[in-house]
Structure 1
Amino acid sequence: MEFTIRHIAPLYKKILLILFCISISSCTEQYVFQSNTFESILVVQANITNELKKHEIKITRSYRLEENGPSFEKGANVYVTDSDNNSYEFEYEDISGLYVSKNDFQAVPGKSYQLNITTQDGKSYSSKTETLTPVNEIQVEPKVVTVDNVKGVQIMVTNFDPSGKSRFYRYEYDETYKIVSPDWKPNKLMVDPNGPGPHPSYLIVPRERETRVCFTTKKSDNLILLSTTDSSEDRINLPIRFIDAASPILNERYSIIVRQYIQNLESYTYYSTLKKLSTSTSLLSQVQPGFNYGNLKSNDDPDEKIVGYFEVSSVSSKRIFFNFRDLFIADPYPPFYTDCQPVELSNCWDAKGCAGATILALVNSKVPEKVYYGKLGDNMEIIIFVPSACGDCTSFSSNIKPLFWID
């Protein structure tokens, strides 16, 4: 989640874009749209949890409507202090653009924590002191259901806090699925450097890397919030992710890890407001966007705006795995991601229907549209190709097996 001016005022942005489109329809010259007023606002995304690890803090600047994205705030002095006068320092990483704690630490009950930032230009910012929220473990379970006449698997999150002290929840998940290219072959083609004749000839050689089995990981990209304040008990039964049984991501093996953050009322209110401002669905909505103040302030100028929230929350996570047949006993397997129809190409140059130039381009391409599948004839008169995804999963996924993966 990026906290930007785009998220702060999406409704205004829609109105401006509509007016812009109307205006250019009646003009003969192009007009480059630019925002007339702009404030460079510090944007902070920080969450300290009860996990013993190196924590991360993201600090950027708001950006103009016509810009592609935020700029990272580099060179800041960032540290977290607790009520026992301990200090946890963070350092900037160029690769990730994040400030990462130099040492592992965790938030513990009974202590309060404060975020402190001094930017490269000497401006000082700090948060309110925050304490760790209660811990409440979750359970995650897949269930076969039918939603709107579509059969699929519903990932359910359940928990219960008999003390009733949790009440405010935020969720996120990462899903990972295994991909096996159905038309994979252990060999590939390469141009024979010693080939005779005016036209290239080819060698069949083993592949140098894993291209049959891959893994794709995707993160949830929306705010999932829940409150039980209107319920008689602090019990959660939340459908967090529905997947159509015909989705190719279920074709092999699927895994999901769900994280539950228990928030306090103030942080829940902040994220609820942020969600409303970021998901306005109608230009006629009665919800008017505005500035969403968090728990951060400037120590130099009380009128300076700063976006973001320093949250100290307990987190509970649960990962599950399942294969398609674990849930769908008699259903047909989902189709692959693309049609894998083979294509036969004539390995010649001088006659009608020859595809020698096409074959050479496919063999030499770093990101080929199609990959080698087989041949017909001792002299490779016909070479068969399939779409890249069908024979080389690295064309759209990663061949690196996650450390957590269990087959």
Structure 2
Amino acid sequence: MQRKIKQILALFLVIVFQYSCTESYEIETVDYESVLVVESTITNELKPQLVKLSRTSTLENPGILLENNATVTVSDSNGEIYNFSQNNETGFYNSNQPFSAQPNVSYTLNIETQDGKSYSSAAVTLPPTVEMDEVYAERIDDLSANKDGVQVLVNTEDPTGNAKYFRYEYEETYKVVAPFPSPYIAEIINFNPDNYTYDVVLTPREPEEICYSTENSTGINQTSTTEFNENRVFRFPVKYLSKLDAKMQTRYSILVKQYVQSIEAYTFYKIVKELGSVESLLSQGQPGYVAGNMVSVANPDEKVLGFFEASSMTSKRIYFNYEDFGLEKPPYFVECEVLVLDYLDNTTFDNDPNERENIFTYLSYFDYQVLSLAQNTIYRIVQAECSVCTSFSSNIRPDFWED
């Protein structure tokens, strides 16, 4: 998504906001009750929209408790109804057909849980769309802020003054090049535990050297233009990368997403962030609750967490390399250790480890990869992360990628 806070609550802590949050905070458990948690933002993107449903958990047993088998729909003021189905992989609910939130149309989220309880949101409308003027990266060396690396910044302006509240997320993708690619798949056969002998079969393969990893942002990152003379976001920091960050070791790309918010949404995020945010609203463990715009149809006094929002989104992508900022190449993701071990060395009499046993252990249990074999007995091996990039990344090149 890490950044947690604890706050002692009185028995009935009720904070009433407008808007759902993609963040959560943790509080010491005083009195637990199972409360429905709703997290959903529909946007002007034409895509399957998403609704996340869960239940609160205790702090002693944190985690996401999915709300299964619910009936979920979104209705609009034009009479359209969009049905959602639970995704078997994520446990969340996706709309059965792609749709995009439209201007001057209000949307309402309706939920019926498997125990027959019904919940509904307040009607929400789409804020105006504002394009980002610029996403760019600059070298930063600020000792007072303990920053030495690259800062990604955003400039945005709305001359109409209709959009004043903005939230930012990002999706970062970076190229991974394994420093010690292995040309073999190793398999141990004919193992004899009595005399600790075995054979290593090396099958040639194309080295899995180049991969691409993608990570999504966590945390609340938002700003407002209400305190400025101009309705302008200028040099707003979205992402910082240390000069030692391995993500910049080869090539780095970031897709910045800008969400125009309502004042209610902005206020909700702001207060939650001040309380101390962590990864997800779905991991709630708290005796009190943050009420949003979701209510129980039969019992308005029932506690419901979260919020349903419509938000306009625009995005921009940039690419850069560490050389673009005069930086030295950052270190790799892990410290690579190439070992040279001799199968014929099967004793410890020379105050040296039993290298035959070590070869077996590293290949069998720690997924080390064979780089080369000399004289049919001497193996050069290394950790999988340093040799086979698919051990922690993907060798599928993204469609958008540019070298």
Under a length normalisation based on structure 1, what TM-score does the superposition of the two structures give? 0.83
**Does the 8 A contact of 2:182 with 2:369 survive in 1?**
no
CA distance in 2, matches of 1:262, 1:198: 66
* Corresponding residue of 1:343: 339
Aligned 1:184-203 pairs, distance under 5 A: 184-191=181-188, 199-203=197-201
Question: How many pairs align?
Answer: 367
Aligned 1:278-289 pairs, distance under 5 A: 278-279=276-277
CA distance in 1, matches of 2:212, 2:315: 21
CA distance in 2, matches of 1:338, 1:65: 33
* Corresponding residue of 1:142: 137
Deviates more, 1:70-79 or 1:159-168: 70-79
2:163 corresponds to 1:161: no
Per-residue CA distance 1:19-66 (angstroms, 9 max, x = gap): xxxxxxxxxxxxxxx956211111000111101111010010111111
- RMSD over aligned CA atoms reads 2.6
Change (3 A) 1:198 1:389: closer
Q: Secondary structure at the match of 1:304?
A: coil
Deviates more, 1:172-181 or 1:332-341: 332-341
* Corresponding residue of 1:66: 60
Q: Secondary structure at the match of 1:292?
A: strand
CA distance in 2, matches of 1:332, 1:117: 53
Sequence identity, in percent?
37
* Corresponding residue of 2:36: 42
Q: What stretches of structure 1 move > 6 A for 4+ residues in a row?
A: none
* Corresponding residue of 1:247: 245
CA distance in 2, matches of 1:155, 1:109: 31
- TM-superposed deviation, 1:386: 2.2
* Corresponding residue of 1:284: none
* Corresponding residue of 2:224: 227
**Does the 8 A contact of 2:139 with 2:149 survive in 1?**
yes
**Does the 8 A contact of 2:346 with 2:357 survive in 1?**
no
Alignment-mate amino acid for residue 334 of structure 2? T
**Does the 8 A contact of 1:181 with 1:391 survive in 2?**
yes
**Does the 8 A contact of 1:270 with 1:292 survive in 2?**
no
**Does the 8 A contact of 1:80 with 1:114 survive in 2?**
yes
Change (3 A) 1:275 1:150: closer
- In structure 2, the gaps of 5 or more residues are 10-27, 279-286
* Corresponding residue of 2:212: 215
Alignment-mate amino acid for residue 244 of structure 2? A
- Pick one of 85, 93, 100 that aligns with 1:91: 85
Q: Secondary structure at the match of 1:214?
A: strand
Per-residue CA distance 1:321-343 (angstroms, 9 max, x = gap): 22222x134x3211222333422
* Corresponding residue of 1:12: 8
Per-residue CA distance 1:86-119 (angstroms, 9 max, x = gap): 1111111121111100111111111111111111
2:384 corresponds to 1:388: yes
Alignment-mate amino acid for residue 310 of structure 1? F
Alignment-mate amino acid for residue 174 of structure 2? Y
- Pick one of 257, 260, 263 that aligns with 1:262: 260
Change (3 A) 1:198 1:147: closer
2:75 corresponds to 1:81: yes
CA distance in 2, matches of 1:350, 1:99: 57
**Does the 8 A contact of 1:177 with 1:253 survive in 2?**
yes
* Corresponding residue of 1:28: none
* Corresponding residue of 1:310: 308
Under a length normalisation based on structure 2, what TM-score does the superposition of the two structures give? 0.84
CA distance in 2, matches of 1:12, 1:348: 63
Change (3 A) 1:178 1:346: same
**Does the 8 A contact of 1:257 with 1:320 survive in 2?**
yes
Alignment-mate amino acid for residue 219 of structure 1? N
Alignment-mate amino acid for residue 311 of structure 2? S
**Does the 8 A contact of 1:270 with 1:293 survive in 2?**
no
- Where relative contact order (Cα < 8 A, 6+ residues apart) is larger, the structure is 2
**Does the 8 A contact of 2:175 with 2:210 survive in 1?**
yes
Q: Secondary structure at the match of 1:120?
A: coil
- Pick one of 190, 201, 204 that aligns with 2:202: 204
- In structure 1, the gaps of 5 or more residues are 14-33, 281-288
Alignment-mate amino acid for residue 90 of structure 1? F
